[in-house]
Amino acid sequence: NALTATAIAASEDAVETARRHLVQPWPFAGSVGAEARALIGEGDGIYITDGDGKRLIDGPAGMWCVNVGHRRKELAEVMYDQAMALSYNTPWYTMNAPSAELAERIAGHAPGDLSHVFFTTGGSSAVETALRFMQFYNNVRGRPEKKLILSRGGAYHGSTYLSASLNGRPRDRDWMDGADELIVKLSSPNPFRRPAGMSVGDFADFLVDEFAETVARIGAGRIGAFVGEPVQASGGVVIAPDGYLRRIREICRQNDILYVSDEVVTAFGRLGHVFASDDVFGIEPDMITFAKGVTSGYFPLGGVVISARLMEELRRSNHPDAMFGHGLTYTSHPVGCAVALRNLDLLEGGVLEHARQVAPYFQAKLKTLEELPLVGEVRGAGLMACVECVADRESNDPLLIDKDVGKRIDAHCHELGLLVRPLINMCVMSPPLVISTEQIDDMVAILREGISRTMEDLRREGVWRG
């Protein structure tokens, strides 16, 4: 279904206009406000069509979000119907029914006593909300000094000031300020990057000891929360050693540190379940943040699921007049909540089951790419995976060659019909959950060819000898 000539001309206009007027996210100073990126015109199922009419597999499902796939009529219709019924209401002193129903449905899937939902506009505002709630909670409970936040290397939690202060990926913070006085950083739990000579089991002990020692050194009385992704997504699909999350959870419980599980990527099907914290990793957090897949990206919506215990403690505190001074114009947006309800129907009605079924095939197929000498490791869980390229398999050095090897692979794959999410030396794959095994075959075949062509380029340029 190629775009028409008119559509292609319109795309060319859009590219020029963008170059003149649009500020893209994550720009470099040298091209800020003057940059055009690959234009995407249409989407259908797992496919998108670019401005030249070329059809591509949507490897990252947008940004890990188009979970039920593009062009779902049910979702478009429910958005239309809700906008015609009630397009907006002020959440300051009114409410709408879809948000109440969605909160109940989400609570029904959440682990432990997580029973109350605060809706936001996306993931950053969800993390921000969880942290501001922690601050409020500790103020009301009379311990205003219990506010520090533990985060880890490799983490990505958002682009608002406080959420971004938690980020721990290389390069993210090089030129950016942050609320560093509020944050304590711990090691990345990436087994692929563990110290040389250390077993994975010892690495898990090292991480847990580091966590416990940090709490002891700083004092639990000063630490309000730990924020962690069950699988570090944008950090390169980092899966911590077995049992590590459970052990961290326990230390948090013992020290009255709120455990915030950032499931912005992992919730709503990416790992085959609505929430992965308990169903996949066996932990019951105090709060879970979510966004992206909650509407399959059809509407900007996120939120925090909060423990009933925390609500109860606030209600029973000595400060019934204390106000949680936090709310967004689009909190509990009726159109967002309506589309999320329908999206949840689709997930519960077969998409989750499908994701669980194809995940082992997806992982096994991608794993075959380790045959290529540029590939240091393929790792993943559910329908998210990372192909990490290294210059040298002995040292696993990612930086000897061009750091942007991911971008080179992406350029070849684009030619061949696959959009990749390049991350420095890594390619992250997280397609729509409705992908079939045949489509997985296509995706991996293109990726293999894209990496092979990149290897040839690197050899030709004399920058790599693998």
Binding residues for ligand PLP (CB under 6 A): 63, 122-124, 127, 156-159, 229, 233-234, 262, 264-265, 291, 302
Evaluate the CA torsion angle 434, 438, 439, 444 in order and state its sign: positive
Are the C-beta atoms of 154 and 232 separated by less than 8 Å? yes
SS3 assignment, position 153 = coil
Contacts of 208 (CB under 8 A, 6+ apart): 244, 247, 248, 251
**Nearer CB in complex with ligand PLP: 340/374:** 340
Considering the complex, what minimum distance in angstroms separates the CB of residue 461 from ligand PLP?
Answer: 32
Considering the complex, what minimum distance in angstroms separates the CB of residue 120 from ligand PLP?
Answer: 9
Specify burial of residue 304 (Cβ count, 10 A radius: 0-12, 13-18, 19+): buried
**Nearer CB in complex with ligand PLP: 152/247:** 152
Are the C-beta atoms of 157 and 227 separated by less than 8 Å? yes
**Nearer CB in complex with ligand PLP: 58/229:** 229
Considering the complex, what minimum distance in angstroms separates the CB of residue 169 from ligand PLP?
Answer: 10
DSSP, res 3: P
Angle separating helix axes 334-346 and 97-109, nearest 10 degrees: 40
Instruction: List, as one string, the DSSP characters of 66-85.
Output: -TT-B--HHHHHHHHHHHHH
**Nearer CB in complex with ligand PLP: 140/383:** 383
**Nearer CB in complex with ligand PLP: 127/429:** 127
Considering the complex, what minimum distance in angstroms separates the CB of residue 402 from ligand PLP?
Answer: 25
**Nearer CB in complex with ligand PLP: 123/272:** 123
Are the C-beta atoms of 288 and 114 separated by less than 8 Å? yes
In angstroms, the CA 68 to CA 46 distance is 9
Considering the complex, what minimum distance in angstroms separates the CB of residue 264 from ligand PLP?
Answer: 3
Tokens matching residue 4 = 């028409």
What is the C-alpha radius of gyration for the chain, rounded to an integer number of angstroms? Answer: 22
Considering the complex, what minimum distance in angstroms separates the CB of residue 127 from ligand PLP?
Answer: 6
Find the Cα–Cα–Cα–Cα dihedral 149, 299, 79, 345, rounded to 10°.
-60
**Nearer CB in complex with ligand PLP: 225/458:** 225
Considering the complex, what minimum distance in angstroms separates the CB of residue 381 from ligand PLP?
Answer: 14
